[in-house]
Structure 1
Amino acid sequence: MRNQPKYHFIKNTIYALKGLKDIVRTENSFKIELALFFISIPILFLLDASLTNKILLFATLGLVLLTEAMNSAIERAVDLVTLEHQRMAGMAKDAGSAAVFISIIIALTTWILIVLDSLNII
């Protein structure tokens, strides 16, 4: 049987905000990515791009934050199981880091192509 309480919107929102607060407080990578997210938002409004492209730009920034949060969850779960150096634990953490890296590549590629397109360079 799973150790999961009955779904309650308010309680689940509180849990989510608690997790977000903890990640912001403890994860430097997340802080940097969150700062870049908020710096990039005004650029969305200034950019001469279609609404669809602006949504894509926003979504790719959110994707980076999402994967960083998931990576933090993976790292914490692995650390809960063992603090000793274990090959499989390292592989799990590396896979989480790879997901973050891939999301950053997706975001950068999307931003570069859409910005260049909006400036009529490509």
Structure 2
Amino acid sequence: MENNLKGKSGRRLLNACGYSVAGIGAAWRHEAAFRQELLMAAVLIPIALFSQKPGSDKALLIGSVMLVLIVELLNSAVESLTDRVSLEIHPLAKRAKDTGSAAVMLSLLTMAIIWGLIFL
């Protein structure tokens, strides 16, 4: 089944960029964890860029920070969709939210390991 809401013109890429910016804005407004992680990224990415580490290390450092933001956005999407479907307490809804949270935790752990290995 095709989604009739998707554009078919040359504006598709422009529309997609607009949706992405709207998604980041929604995450900023509604997700405290995303705000905290974005502020963390605002500190850590310049540290990585201005460090005396090789380019490959900088890429790993920045990539690990970006991974946290990406996983947080996906977790927020799962949580929002789960709440949209039903606000009732259900074991599957809990499992969806808990596994999304676990993914965020693992991305943060991965970032900590990478930063620790490169800087320590």
Q: TM-score range by the shorter chain?
A: over 0.9
- Structure 2, unaligned stretches of length 5 or more? none
Matches within 5 A, 1:46-65: 46-65=50-69
Same amino acid, percent of matched pairs: 35
Q: Aligned partners of 2:48 and 2:74: how far apart in 1? A: 25
Q: Aligned partners of 1:31 and 1:6: how far apart in 2? A: 31
Q: CA deviation at 1:6?
A: 3.2
- Give the structure, 1 or 2, with the largest relative contact order (CA under 8 Å, sep 6 or more): 1
TM-score (norm 2): 0.92
What is the aligned length? 116
| Structure 1 contact 47–115 (Cα < 8 Å) conserved | no
Q: CA deviation at 1:37?
A: 0.2
Residue 120 (structure 1) aligns with = none
Q: Aligned partners of 1:41 and 1:19: how far apart in 2? A: 21
Q: Does 1:66 align with 2:67?
A: no
Matches within 5 A, 1:86-101: 86-101=90-105
> Which of these residues, 66, 84, 89, is aligned with residue 88 of structure 2?
84
**Matched AA of 1:24:** W
TM-score (norm 1): 0.91
Matches within 5 A, 1:108-119: 108-116=112-120
